[in-house]
Chain A
Amino acid sequence: MRLADVGKTYANGVLALDGVSLAVASGEFVSLLGPSGCGKSTILRLVAGLSPPSAGTVELGATPGEADALRREISFVFQEPTLMPWATVAANVLMPLRVRRVPRREAEDRVAEALALVGLDGFAKSYPRELSGGMKMRVSIARALVIRPRLLLLDEPFAALDEITRFRLNDDLVRLWRQFGWTVLFVTHSVFESVYLSSRVLVMSPRPGRVVQDIAVPDAARNEAWRMGPEYNALCREVSLALHAAMGDRA
């Protein structure tokens, strides 16, 4: 997946992105880190094909045929849970499969599996209004995972969660990423989270956003020990400095 010199101007004249170039290889876990309003969500929308770039090109896969195939295997977790309030948790998660006409039996099994993955087994029959903010977000994540996507776009999915749940879901996400070989583009505000999860961290400048730093994270086992170790801390410092530099502060 490649963005080449992409610009985005919204209808009201706001220049959100200017000359963004980035590439994500198949199987990579890439984090986008930047200040609020720098255009991170906008990048995800461009990649998903939900809005067209005003300049430059967005390419998926190596060939146009591959791009079409890949388009059907993208999942997007929005910044807000975006659940259908009239549908139960199970029906919300079932939606992508229903639209794809997956046979009922199989679909129900996969919904149960996805809900178990985010720790919501007991809530299949609840309605979104009966859930906490973090639980709604987890439903939204389950809905993204249920199609077993090849490309997963995550827009600050854990921002509304407490530290403990967040760590747990971080570990789950890394595990699943390794297991299924997804390509992940992950937006976050958190330096620590981005380093812990990613194989690469892209640091963005304030609006109009562009990628100003590209920091690779070595492939290490992600666990508590690593989180406490010197490599993780050094990386966090590096990313943090890059972020401050991008924002024009003195470090």
Chain B
Amino acid sequence: MRRTVVLSVLVPVGVLALTVLAWHLYVTIGDVETFILPAPDLVIRTLWNDWSTLGPALWVTLKLTFSALALAVVGGVALAVLMAQSRWIELALYPYAVILQVTPVVALAPIVVTRIPDTQTALLVLAFVVAFFPILTNTAQGLKSVDHNLRDLFQLHGAGRLQRLWYLEAPSALPYFLTGLRIAGGIALIAAVVAEFAAGSSGAGSGLAFRLFEAQYRLNSPRVFAALLLLAATGVAIFAATSLVSAWALRHWHESAVPRDR
């Protein structure tokens, strides 16, 4: 048990160290130009030196991502519950959710940005539209996947609609919702970046994506990579956080979160 824990830390860290080393050797021995690929230590130093620019940009992107995710959770769950109440509501609303989903953010962005005067609000709307769908579909699926015998049992005991929702459907749907949340967390960040890029927002309140493309435009390669590193780290952190939330919420009963006894 102890050994597995130690190994589960050592293995990824070791592979990371090897990757960075290979990167370093490739750049120094191959004499690669900074413009093409900056050395890892240069990227880290740039991250440090340019923090006054990158730090606030990271903050803007994080705020955007998490606001979009929070709105997506509220909206997605609410709509899923609404759709679970009646097939007619589902039939009426589901097509719009699908249309919003299949329309690429890049195509939607210029339209939304020019219609909504405040850029940050426009970006929030775009990121929300993308993050909302996996939460909606997964939660809706979960609400429908209640064990039929349990449904019968609740009916037999005369449970009302709200009691059924609270005691039966919500817990049944929880694992599905959490899967939706994990997906939504990842794509909320992607959507935030894509929307920002597509919107071409400038000046005050600019996020990481804007800083990245700005640096690229100025051929400031180390800063491009520093921004990229921050984005990747944010994505990993969001994934880890949503996975932890999921494992914690299901720790007592769900197969995905319970160790297999042997």
Contact = CB atoms under 8 A, between A and B. Distances in A.
Query: Are the chains A and B members of one assembly?
Result: yes
Interface in B134-169: 147, 149-150, 152-160, 163, 167-168
B149 A78 contact: yes
B228 interface: no
Contact of A72 (B147, B153, B154, B158): B158
B262 interface: no
A80 interface: yes
A85 B251 CA distance: 12
A85 B150 CA distance: 11
Contacts of B150: 82, 84
Given A49-B156, A87-B171, 4 more contacts: A78-B153, A84-B167, A84-B171, A86-B254
Contacts of A50: 152, 155-156
Contact of B171 (A86, A96, A100, A128): A86
B164 to A, nearest CB: 9
A48 interface: yes
B159 A99 contact: yes
Contacts of B87: none
Nearest to B249: A86
Q: What bracket does the count of chain B residues touching chain A fall in? A: 20 to 34
B253 A129 contact: yes
Nearest to B163: A99
Interface of B: 147, 149-150, 152-160, 163, 167-168, 171-172, 174, 252-254, 258
Contacts of B156: 48-50, 74-76
Given A50-B155, A99-B157, A86 B149 contact: no
Nearest to A49: B156
Give the dominant DSSP class at B's interface: helix
Contacts of B147: 82
B159 A127 contact: no
Interface in A123-137: 127-129
Contacts of B168: 84
Contact of A82 (B149, B163, B252): B149
B196 to A, nearest CB: 40
A127 B158 CA distance: 25
Contacts of B149: 78, 80, 82
Interface centre among A74, A78, A86, A95 (most CB of B within 10 A): A86
Contacts of A78: 149, 152-153
Interface in A61-105: 71-72, 74-76, 78, 80, 82, 84-87, 95-96, 98-100
A85 B155 contact: no
9 contacts: A45-B152, A71-B158, A76-B152, A84-B167, A86-B172, A86-B252, A96-B157, A98-B163, A99-B163
A87 B172 CA distance: 11
Contacts of A48: 152, 156
Given A82-B147, A82-B149, A86-B174, A99 B253 contact: no
B252 to A, nearest CB: 5
A80 B149 CA distance: 9
A86 B253 contact: yes
Interface string A37-56: 00000000100111000000
Interface in A181-238: none
